[in-house]
Structure 1
Amino acid sequence: MQKAPELIAKLITKFLKNELSEQESKDFELWLASDPKNITLLESFRDTPSVQEELNYFNTIDTDKDWAILSNKLNLKPSPKLNWIKIISYSAAAILLLVAGIGLYQYTTSQRAKMPVLALQADAYDIKPGGLKAQFISADGSSTVLNGKIAKETDANIATKEGFLWVKNTGRQKNGYNQLKTPKAGEYKMILPDGTKVFLNSASTLRFSNNFNKGDRRVELDGEAYFEVAHNQDLPFVVKFNKTEVEVLGTHFNISAYSEEATKTTLLEGAIKIRTEKDQSILKPGDEANVANGMLNVHKVDTYKSIAWKEGMFYFHEDGITEILDQIARWYDVKIEYQGTPGTKKYSGDIRREATLNQVLQMLNAVSGAKFDLKDRTVTVNF
């Protein structure tokens, strides 16, 4: 579904002012659902430090009147040689810059990981996104709370290095184990004693021996993590999760093991061997191994989908609404309750993880038609 850029820009403007008629709402939802890029374009309206003042002014504007004036002044004549998404961007930018004073960041695919988000009314109950939060439990039982960075390094085994938690290996506790744990709405990144970088997603735990890199390089994962493994031909790196093991020499890959019934291992670079109790396989870049009930299945995937969280994005591609909301629940530390039947419809698009929860729910409402009610850290979804 493609409409004239001027009309789409007008619908976007009316959506921001909550002035869409019933028919316009239907047209707008159809347009959003027709292409994931349309969702990203809508997201690209960025709130500014003076956003409330601007929005208050925005809500006093007569959209139809000012649109007619601006259309005549701009004399927009889209060229068939131009990308229509960009034309809409120019049109919408003109409206919002000249009429409302709110800037629009033009959509380009290269900006996917830095896309700004739609501003909301400041008085709405909202929940901020997750951030750098974790707990490091040393082999000797001592615990350090991590918020952004280590304020004071009381544990001789850890330090900060280039924005990472750096775990040194002193060998004081020969049989002890260290753990890095992230809560819901938390994530953290760490450098292991061998130089391997680990990015730990929310509600996840990584466990490794205090003698790591002295005879073996084994870690245990519960949740999700992205690994950039330091190469060591003589000492393979092994990740154990849910009765499954991944063995590598040096490579980049992501493991999602939130569910005991199903896990995903996605390879971006190098090669890895994956073993279950019943089967094993060698993965090549672009492969994803799904393990469900002990059965191993390998297929090609869009690898960006598996690492988008590390790049600060929610990225959906043919996902059901419950799959999407599972990610939302972990990142915003909320409970999801359903009223009605979710259905089997699939959705594609991306939203920045730094968006507030209400901003995310607005986007999901626009494409799915589901109604979202946020109260006391519980999101009720009504279909």
Structure 2
Amino acid sequence: METQNNIKQTAELIIKFLKNELSPQEKKDFELWLNASADNRALVESFRNTETVQHELNYIAAVDINKGWEEVSKQIQVKPAKTFAWNKLTKYSAAAVLVVALGFGLYNYLSTAKTRQFNQSAAVHDIMPGTQRATLRMADRSRMDLGTSSFWLVGDNGRIALGAKKGVLYFGRKGKRNNIAGNNVLETPRAGEYRMVLPDGTKVWLNAVSTLSFPTSFNQTERRVELTGEAYFEVAHNKAMPFKVAFNQTEVEVLGTHFNINSYGKTSKTTLVEGSIKVTENGRQQLLRPGEEAVINNGAVNIHKTDTYKSIAWKEGTFYFKEDSMTDIMDQLFRWYDVEIVYKGKPDTKRYSGNIRRQATLNQVLEMLNAVSGARFSLENRKVTVDFNN
């Protein structure tokens, strides 16, 4: 079995071969490797197919390269390098770079000659990722469909009341659209996300299939909003007016801090990035410190240390799986790609880790999941079938 260094050396030989830059000694080494296996020759020949190369490059662009190489290192039981020298490879052709970049793919080719089992015919039909879109329902019962286009509305006092630009909804600090009291509601559909700046300066990232209800103007004692789904908050500090988020039967109170709330299922999670927050459940209040997460289920609150990036990666444009079950992963795809998920066979109990951009197409994500799990995925219209009967 080839070690990590051998794999890298082989990849460099392939790169130089494709660029016709092999030295006499390197040419001998390359020919020895090439003639050692029909799979080796098939790998090299595959890079002559421009369409295949471009498909792989698109896949590479979506995958976290360092994470992929670390996974390879685990499989071959070699301690991984701290960083992958991607910048040193940019001088080579894009097609050749993928030999090294596709960590576990290269490992499969070189050490097991096992190709990905993803149904390549599905590449003809693909689904694009979610985009910045939402619906704003105003207290006066008017409705606005929001996207990436810009608009600005001026209130009765001549000041900007609200507007949107590049997927961010803004509310003016002093401008009011009208004097109607009540709540506005920002709602994202499947395959949608949106950002918002509240009148007090608080920034909110709203994930797919989520709603945030907030008053047309905060009162003088508190800033209270209601959430379903998932949102990340960067709360503007105001000691005199605590910021409160209500979700399910839980309430979070802050003065000014950064945190994420996930309340999609029966179990909700509140993750604190910085500052401090109070979590109240069934009248019992508990303090959360940076790097901690409160998991609330059936009235019980469990607080523990956590990897905060796992909770906020979505707002950074990344799927970040860390010891997640396949069903948990597919729930995320269901919301972000607006697809139906169907299982064949009993879902396994294994846990998976990986990293891929949320801007990847659905097929690219399914390819990665196939590579790390071995499960088969098929895509028909907007239905993904996960087959565990292997």
- TM-score, normalised to structure 1, is 0.72
**Deviation string for 1:262-292 (max 9, x for gaps)?**
1000000100000011532100000100000
Which amino acid is the alignment partner of residue 203 of structure 2? K
Match of 1:359 in 2: 364
Q: CA separation in 1, counterparts of 2:145 and 2:352?
A: 37
Q: Say how many residue pairs are matched.
A: 313
Match in the other structure for 1:27: none
Call closer, same or farther: CA 1:163–1:331 in 2, change over 3 Å. closer
Q: Which amino acid aligns with 1:54?
A: T
1:201 is aligned to 2:207:
yes
How many Å apart are 1:215 and its aligned residue?
A: 3.9
Q: Check whether the contact 1:288–1:301 (CA below 8 A) recurs between aligned residues.
A: yes
Tell me how far apart the structure 2 counterparts of residues 148 and 254 of structure 1 sit (CA, whole Å).
Answer: 24
| Secondary structure at 2:133 match in 1 | strand
When residues 344 and 10 of structure 1 are mapped into structure 2, their CA distance, relative to the original with a 3 A threshold, is farther
Aligned to 1:181: 187
CA 1:131–1:5: 2 relative to 1, 3 Å? farther
The answer as to whether partners of 1:225 and 1:254 remain within 8 angstroms in 2 is yes
For the pair 1:232 / 2:238, whether they are aligned, the reply is yes
> CA offsets, 1:312-358, max 9 Å, x none?
00001111111111111100011100011111111111110000000
> Larger Rg: 1 or 2?
2
Tell me which residue corresponds to 2:135. Answer: 135
* Secondary structure class of the residue paired with 1:299: strand
Give the counterpart letter for 1:371 in structure 2: R
Shift of 1:174: 4.6
Contact 1:137 1:143 in 2 (8 A): yes
Residue 91 to residue 178, structure 1, CA distance change in 2 (3 Å): closer
Q: Secondary structure in 2 aligned to 1:86?
A: coil
Name the amino acid aligned to 2:364: Q
Who is 2:93 aligned against? 97
Deviations 1:144-179 (A, max 9, x none): 111113356588632136862102362834531101
Instruction: Letter of the 1:164 partner, please give it.
Output: V
Taking the aligned partners of 2:130 and 2:204, their CA distance within structure 1 comes to 18
Residue 213 of structure 2 is aligned to residue 192 of structure 1: no
Aligned mates of 2:331, 2:350 — CA distance in 1: 16
- Structure 1 counterpart of 2:380, one-letter code: K
1:347 corresponds to: 352
Q: 1:161 to 1:58 in 2, by over 3 A?
A: closer
TM-score, length of structure 2 as denominator length: 0.71
Match of 2:51 in 1: 55
| Unmatched runs of 5 consecutive residues or more in structure 2 | 15-37, 40-46, 56-77, 103-119
Equivalence for 1:273:
278
Q: What are the within-5 Å matches in structure 2 for residues 1-383 of structure 1?
A: 3-7=3-7, 54-55=50-51, 83=81, 86=84, 97=93, 100=95, 124-151=124-151, 153=153, 157-160=161-164, 164-168=168-172, 170=176, 172-259=178-265, 261-277=266-282, 279-383=284-388
Aligned equivalents of 1:165, 1:192: Cα separation in 2: 8
Aligned-partner Cα distance in 2 for 1:5–1:97? 21
How far apart are the structure 1 equivalents of 2:256 and 2:52? Answer: 54
- Which runs of no fewer than 5 residues in structure 1 stay unpaired? 14-22, 25-50, 60-79, 108-119
**Deviation of the 1:106 alpha carbon:** 6.5
Three-state SS of the structure 2 residue aligned to 1:239 is: strand
Calculate the aligned-residue CA RMSD, in Å: 3.6
Tell me, yes or no, if the aligned pair for 2:161 and 2:177 is still in contact at 8 Å. no
Partner of 1:73: none
2: CA distance, partners of 1:242 / 1:316 = 25
Give the 3-state SS of the residue equivalent to 1:309 in structure 2.
helix
Residues 123/263 of structure 1: CA separation in 2 closer, same or farther (3 Å cut):
closer
Farther-moved stretch of structure 1 (171-180 vs 355-364): 171-180
The aligned amino acid for 2:171 is V
- Identity value in percent: 49
Alpha-carbon distance change, 11 to 256 in structure 1, aligned in 2, over 3 angstroms: farther
